Structures are given as structure tokens and as C-alpha cells.
Amino acid sequence: MAENWTIPGVREALTSKRISARELAGDYYKRIGARNAELNAYLALSQDRALAQADRVDALVAAGKPLPPLAGVPVAIKDVISTRGVTTTCGSKILENYVPPYDATAVERLEAAGAVILGKTNCDEFAMGSSNENSAYGAVRNPESPGRVPGGSSGGSAAAVAAGLALAALGTDTGGSIRQPGSFCGIPAMMPSYGRVSRYGLIAFASSLDRIGPFARNVHDVAAVMQIIAGRDANDSTSTTAPVPDYLAESEKPVKGLRVGIPKEYFGAGMDPEVRKKIEAGIDVLRKLGCEIREIRMPHTDYAIAVYYIIATAEASSNLARYDGVRYGLRVDGDSLLGMYRKTRGAGFGAEVKRRIVLGTYVLSAGYYDAYYLKGQKVRALIAQDFREGFTKVDAIVTPTSPVPAFKLGERTDDPLQMYLADIYTVTGSLAGVTGISVPCGKISGKLPVGLQIFGPPFGEGRVLQLAQAFEQAGGAAL
Amino acid sequence: MKISREDVLRVADLAYLDLSESELETYRKQIDEILEYIDKLNELDTTNVEPMAQVLADDQAADATLREDIVVPCGVATEILTQAPDPEPPYFRVPKVIER
């Protein structure tokens, strides 16, 4: 069994010269070579870039110079995040051979902090999906249970970290695409607040919802990656100047006396009874840690899916207008300019993307805008208000991450609405702009991971990490 | 029925999206079902609710004012054109739009 590295473990091994950054990267590529054919977690590997970076780290070690915080840490990047010189497909045929001329800010910051970028991970096409089955490059398998999905859309990132094919990974979350695969694969996974992490270089799906955030094998390492990627970026006007706290220090604080809200709307029909048992046991852990558990109401929860699939598809239909066969990606010739557009988009996009473009264009079109888009924006305000009011009464809100554990491959692909409904517990926080983490909360029958979701107010990442860390250290993952 | 075959055709046309016969019917049915579901929003009276058009509160917004418009060199045209399906440096080439 290969060593399960952590960020402090890598640092210790490098400084004591037990391993070099180059050897560590090589070890991870060996693991990828051994398991990727089965899991399909990676779409592209960036060995040249990774080894060059590892050599820079090793030179620092040799010279006895101080190491940056993530020196030598092998990470994977979801394939919707731009990487200079490394193919970035978004899981789509329309960008099959696209090589970005620049790095996303989050990638640039990771590398500047010493991280080694191993490669790009599989995902649902343009991050649209909850199972990773919408990738044009095939489904990803859940390393915990290979006949099942890893969750989505950041399924490749979650599977890579869970299987030890990366120490940490970046994913993106628009309606649950970090938290839900984290839950399905049994690892912690964080959605930062809207505005906390720069999205420069993230290929846009729904701009009022998209976030970049980390996966790792423990909460400490999630906090360590957050520390690097958070903060203002002049290239993203939606990134805020709010100061970035010391997340590692915050996550060490005791949780005794914190008020934790449990919204009863998150425990209704449709929830797997085995998931419920685990989550209730998880809440007990928080109670034993000295948290004050309070029941709260979030009355608009049940409307979140309907709002989400208006707002997200409307924004997607606009963002995806750029794929026209002119500047990058696929071109399919037609008898005119417009014919070329139509044929390129018809051939390049997969079924889920087309369905969402049609729905999104419809809800924005003349005669339907008020009934759908405007109505959606109004109910979105009510959902955000549920969170604002909740956070006047409690410090954090705890729910299940998903009503069900990882389902079987192919089980839900024929019914998009049923697939959408499983996003019920994650889309709320996406619409409200708050932060949330999914932490492992035991496994059903010892094999299907369940995730406990902890929401904090906007820019409350420190508080969320604090609770997640205490929960993990109290044995939450072994429930 | 919330959405007709003609609606889907009209919308696909707005989105410059070629759909096959079978896609057209499949999406129509699926989107119809989704729109039926979305109708539950009408249970809520939102007459006096302000639509949420942006996420960040005013005091969190990064750019309270626009930055100064400063010209900076951006020498990436050649590299960007390498990604184009039909480049004619320094241009992107497209099918003929205007007949002489």
C-alpha cells in the first residue's frame, strides 16, 4: 500500500531528505499509471511541467533555502480550469484539443506556493452534471465502490484524491459539484464563499454561482490549500478585498459553545434512511464536542432546485455562446457563417449541455423572462434571506451533503429531473453565496461514504473549517 | 404541455444549435417535465421581493468604483491564434459573410 501523504508529511519528508520532490511526483505518476485506466480520473498528465517544478523545489532543499507552504505537494486540477500549455477540454468534444495560453490565478498561486501540478481531471461536460457521466471522455469510477459514480461534476478530482492519485485537487462548485463528489468519495471538500477565490481562468458555466475550491484527504490540508488560493485578484472583479484569515489557526480553535443550526427542511422525504442515521450520529458528535444544537427553519429550501435550474441554465446559455468555431476548439463547416455556428455547436456539445442551453435560452426569451428568470431571481433572494436569518441565530448550519450515497453507474442517466432533484441540499448554499464543506460522516455498510455538510456565512470559511476539523478529529469519518 | 416542438425549434435557432429529430423530441419532453416542476415557484407570492441580481453585498463588492483605464501591452495574439480552427494571422478567418 502506497503511503498516504499529507501536506505536513511531505514537508517533513522533503526537509529531512527522506524523499525528493521529483521522487514524490514520480511515485504519484506510478500510482496514476497503475489505476487510471480503471478509474478514468485524469484526462491529461503534465509530467514535464510537474517534474520541472519538482526540480525547483529540490534545488531549494539542496540550497537549504526556506520552502514555500506547498513545496512538492502533488495536486490535480479539474479540467474546466485553465492551465498554460496543458490541454483543457472541460470534458467536452468542442474543446478537445484546446491548450490555454495562460494559467488560472488559482493554478498560478498553487504553483507559486510550490505545488506540483500532476495533470487535469475528468468532469461532467462544462461542469454540468451530478455523476460525472456527462463527460465526453467517459465516466469516472468511484474508488470506494467501482460500480458506482464518484459524484459530479468534479468527479475526477474527488476520485483522484480518494484513490491517492493526487494529494489534493481543485474542483469547481456551481450547485454542489465539489461537495457532493467529496461526499460520494469520502473526502473533505470545500466550496468557498462567492468572491473568496479568484475565478480568472475558470471556464465559465454560471457566473453568479461558480466557485473554485479544494479537495484533500483531511481538513487540515483543505485549509492549507484554501490559504493559498483565497484572496483578491485584480483579474477577477468579483474577487473581494476582504482580508484572508489564518485558516490553519482558525481550524484549531475549540468548538465548545458554538451554536449549530439544524434546518428541519433538510431532513424531509427523499432522504435515504441510512444517510439519515449517519447524519444524526454526526450531529451527536458535534453535541458531544460541546456545540449547542438548535433546530432552525429555512422555509424556502424546497424551491431551490427550481430556482437553480432557471438561473444556472440561463447563465450557461449566455456563457456558452462563445463556442462558435471561430476562436478556439472545434469547427464544423457549414454553408454559411450561421450554418457553421449551428453545425459546430450541434456536433461539439453533448446532450446535457444542449438540454441546458435550450432550457436557459427559453427562460430568457421574450415572453418568458418574467415568468421564469425574474421569478427565479426573486425566489433566490428569499433563499439567501433564509441563510441570513439563520446566521443571526446560529454560527453554522449542518445538513446532509446529499440525500443519497453514490448511486450505480447508469442508474439515473435517463431522467434529468430525477438527477437534478438529488442536488437539493447543495444548491441552496450556491444560490445564497455562502461557504460550505462536506466532511466524511461514516460509511453505509462500511463501504458507501456519507458526507456531513457544514454551511457558514459569507467569508466564514474559518468557522466552517474549525467545526469540520473538530468533527474529523472526534472520529466523524468512522461513524 | 408547457413547451411545444415549435418552441424548442425557435429556441434552438436563437442559440444557433443544430438538433436532430430525435434530440428535438427527447429534449422537448424532458424540458417540459422540468418546466412543470419549476411551476412550483408560483406557490410563492413574490410581489414585493426585490430580485437578487448579484451575490455580493455592497460592502463586500471588490470594485466599488471602476479602475482607471490604463493601456498595457498584451503580446499574446500569436499564441491565441494557434488555438483557432482557421487562423490567418493576425486574423481569425470565417466563412464569407458579405457577398460583393
Q: Helix, strand or coil for residue A93?
A: helix
**pLDDT tens digits, B10-19:** 999 999 999 9
Chain B CB contacts of A342 below 8 Å: 16-18
Cell numbers at A473, concatenated: 478529529
Residues in B touching A357 (Cβ below 8 Å): 15, 17
- Give chain A positions within 8 Å (CB) of B15: 317, 321, 345, 357-358, 361
**For the segment A376-410, what is each residue's pLDDT rounded down to a tens digit?**
999 999 999 999 999 999 999 999 999 999 999 99
Determine the Cα–Cα distance for residues A179 and A213; give it in Å rounded to an integer: 9
The pLDDT of residue B85 is 97
Distance CA A258, CA A462 (A): 13
B67-86 mean pLDDT = 90
Nearest Cα of chain B lies from the Cα of A153 at a distance, in angstroms, of 20
CB contact under 8 A, B95 and A337: yes
**Predicted model pTM:** 0.97
Q: A127-157: per-residue pLDDT in tens?
A: 999 999 999 999 999 999 989 999 999 999 9
**Cell 445564497 found at:** A432
The candidate with the shortest Cα–Cα distance to A185, out of A166, A164, A159, A160, is A159
Answer for the pair A197, A245: CB distance below 8 angstroms, yes or no: no
Rounded distance between C-alpha atoms, residue A42 and residue A50, angstroms: 15
Compare CB distances from B60 to A195, A331, A420 and report the shortest one's residue: A195
**Is there a contact between A321 and B34 if contact means CB atoms under 8 Å apart?**
no
Q: Say yes or no for a CB contact (<8 Å) between A239 and B62.
A: yes
Contact B44 A416 (CB under 8 A): no
Phi, psi for A398 (deg, rounded to 5): -115, 135
Residue B38 distance to chain A (closest CA, Å): 5
Burial class of A30 by CB neighbour count within 10 A (0 to 12, 13 to 18, 19+) = exposed
CA distance linking residue A9 with residue A37, whole number of Å: 28
From chain A, pick out residues whose CB is under 8 angstroms from the CB of B86: 331
pLDDT digits (tens, 9 = 90+) for A431-450: 999 999 999 999 999 999 99
pLDDT of residue A223: 98
pLDDT of residue B64: 58
Closest alpha carbon within chain B to A357: B15
Positions of chain A with pLDDT lower than 50, given as ranges: 1
Query: Residues of A with catalytic annotation?
Result: 78, 153, 177
Q: Which of B9, B10, B11 to mutate to test the interface with A (most CBs of A within 10 A)?
A: B11
| Segment holding A479, helix H or strand E | none
- Between chain A and chain B, how many beta carbons pairs sit less than 8 Å apart? 167
- The dihedral over CA atoms of A113, A116, A118, A120, expressed in degrees to the nearest 10, equals 10
> Which chain A residues contact residue B31 at CB under 8 A?
355, 358-359, 362
Three-state DSSP class for residue A267? helix
Q: Which three cell numbers stand for residue B74?
A: 498584451
Domain map (residue ranges) of chain B: 5-42
A440 near A451, Cβ under 8 Å? yes
Give the per-residue pLDDT at A1: 42
